[in-house]
Structures are given as structure tokens and as C-alpha cells.
Amino acid sequence: MTRPELRHDVRITDTTLRDGSHAMDHQFSEAQVRDTVRALDRAGVEVIEVSHGDGIGGSSFNYGFSRTDEMTLIAAAREEATTAKIAVLLVPGIGTADDLRRAHDAGAEMVRVATHCTEADVSPQHFGVAHGLGMETVGFLMMAHRTSPEDLAAQARIMVDAGCQAPYVTDSAGALLMHEARARFEAVVAEVGDEAWVGYHGHQNIAMGVANSVIAQEVGVRYIDGSLCALGAGAGNSPTEVLAAVFDRLGVDTGLDVLAMLDAAQEVVQPYLPRWPKMDRNAIVQGWAGVYSSFLLHAERAAERYKVPAHDILRRCGELGYVGGQEDMIIDVALTLAGERAS
């Protein structure tokens, strides 16, 4: 598949209703999804991602049960969007090809297939299914700080050869410093830039998300993610309303109405926030130690249950090199730390 034509300098994808599901403990209601999609659509957002935080099929004991079936939420989003595309996340091993078919039937037009940054070879089957359904395809190379720019580019090549139209540098831990992000952007753009767009998904754990988004645009990255009110895992994502304002100041065309984005954040999303993602000790440890952002709530629950500090749990997870999908190991870490404190 060829890469889509761009209508603007940068194509913004809003992930409030997917990455934000982590911060919401996967408790989005249909009404919240409908209100948020209407507001984003009015503001000119081109792609709105809707699914469980861990992707379609993620509602489970390991990752947390959704309040509302995600297929219901996808269908509701599709009904409300007049111009925006509805996207879903799929993590191979969590979501299946059948889940993808169900999401497409519910109204999803794009799939973002997410793998660990060194495991792109598990994605081709899902890209193949998406192509058969006529869906647009994106590839997430998660925890991008955990491999070199050259190896990340090689993994992006695997995805593009499988039909991915936009591989992403995905900073799942919010760990990339500006020079580290630039090196990865440049490597991936150099590898696939004539065949596919390149994207960036950032987190604010050490406050680099917006800054790295600006660097990304400067070096040729054209898909950039954000979430209203930064609603997302860890300290949250790059705030979409801030991205809109910053790119407008820079003269970069995103197609977004800045005032409408601010209204969406302040009047639609802020009232339903159970917690406002912030750079507190736990979130900063995630960025500093390179820990998967969605571990935050799992670590805080384990900390309360086993009476050990959440930041110690997260730091140990970083030392052990745990990645997305290994949330169940957080309990083992907490038990180990509790034993060490008792001895």
C-alpha cells in the first residue's frame, strides 16, 4: 500500500480515548467517548484512536477490565465523527485478527499495530489482515529508547515491507532526551521516508513529549500523537491542545483550530478526569529508569497491597528490563521488595 496523501504539514492523531484509557482505569463511558469525539472532530483532528489502553482485546484480568465493551465505544465514535478517521491499537498477543475484523465492522478505519521495538517481525500477519479489510496501517515500535537508532530503522523497514504505511518512534516510557529522539527520527526517516510516513508518540514523564514533537517535525516526521489534557499512561502524552498551539506559533499547518482544541480539553475532558496525569515522583522514575508508562497504576496498586513504595517497584522494573505486556511481573517485584524490607 502507498502512503496516504497529507492534507497538512503534520497529521495529528489524538489518543485521549485509547492511551487515556490507562489513566481512566479503562472506565470510559459511551457518553464520554461520544462527547470527546464530537469535540475533537469539530476542532479538525484527522485521526481519533479508540480502544482499551492495551489495544483491542485488552480488557482482561492482566490489564484491567473495560467498563464498556470497546466495540460499542468504537461504533459510537464512528457515529459521531464527521470527518475524522477512527483508529484502534492492536498489540499482537493481546489482540487477534478476529478482534481486528470486529473492530473494522464496528467502524475502525485504521489499525496501529504495536510491537516491542525489536520485535517487528510479529506484525506482518496483522498488517496483512488490515490490508484485506481496506484499513489504513500504522506501526508502533514501542519502548524506542531500548534499541539503537540504526536497529530501530531496521525494525521500521520490516514493518514497511509488510505493508505498514507509517512506522512510529514510540517513546512508551517517555525516556528519550532530545538528542536521542532526533537520532531515531533521522534514522527511521532516512530508511523509509520515500515509501512511508514516519510518526512519533511521546509521553511526558520527564517533560520531553512536546519538545520531541517539535524536533520530529523539523526532521521530517509527519504523524504526531497527543492526548487532551495529556490524558494517558504515566505522566500522560504530549497534550494535543499544547501541540496545536505550539505548531501554530511555529507556522506549521496541522489543520487544528487551537481555540476549539482548548475548549475540548477544558470543557469536555477535564470534567471527567479521575486524576490529571502529572510529573510526580512515580512518573518521573518511569522516564528516568525507562519503564513502560502503563505500569504506573499497576505499580501503585501493588504498592498499596504489599506496603512498598511504588517508585521502588517501578525502578526495579526498569532494572529488570520489563516491557509492555509484562504487567503481571509487577506483583513479583512487589513481593520481592516486601521480602527484602522484612529481612
Q: Counting Cβ atoms within 10 Å, is residue 82 exposed (0-12), middle (13-18) or buried (19+)?
A: exposed
Better-predicted residue by pLDDT, 321 or 273 = 273
- In this prediction, residue 242 has a pLDDT band, given cuts at 50, 70 and 90, of very high
Q: Is 78 annotated as a binding residue?
A: no
Known binding residue 201? Answer is: yes
pLDDT of the residue at 105? 98
Q: Cβ distance 33 to 72 under 8 Å?
A: no
Tell me what percent of the residues of the chain surpass a pLDDT of 90.
80
Q: Is 29 marked as binding a ligand?
A: no
What is the percent of the chain with per-residue pLDDT over 70, rounded to a whole number?
100
Asked if the model's pLDDT at residue 100 lies above 90, the reply is yes
State which H helix or E strand residue 261 sits in: helix 258-263
**Domain-by-domain residue ranges, the chain?**
11-272, 294-342
Q: Which CATH architecture has domain 294-342?
A: Orthogonal Bundle (1.10)
Confidence of residue 17 (pLDDT cuts 50, 70, 90): very high
Where in the chain does DSSP place strands (E)? 11-17, 47-50, 85-90, 110-116, 136-142, 167-170, 199-201, 223-226
Take residue 329 and report the three cell numbers written for it: 511481573
Judge whether 8 is annotated as a binding position.
no
Q: Which fold has domain 11-272?
A: TIM Barrel (3.20.20)
As annotated, the active-site residues are: 22
The pLDDT of residue 295 is 87
Average pLDDT, the chain: 95
Would you say 59 is a known binding-site residue? no
Each residue of 121-139: pLDDT tens digit? 999 999 999 999 999 999 9
pLDDT at 213 over 90: yes
Question: What per-residue confidence (pLDDT) applies to 275?
Answer: 82
Mark 7-46 as b/e (b = at least 16 C-beta within 10 Å).
eeebbbbbbbbbbbbbbbbbebeeebbebbbbbbbbbbbb
- 225 touches 218 (CB < 8 A): no
Which three three-digit cell numbers place residue 143? 519502548
Q: Is 203 annotated as a binding residue?
A: yes
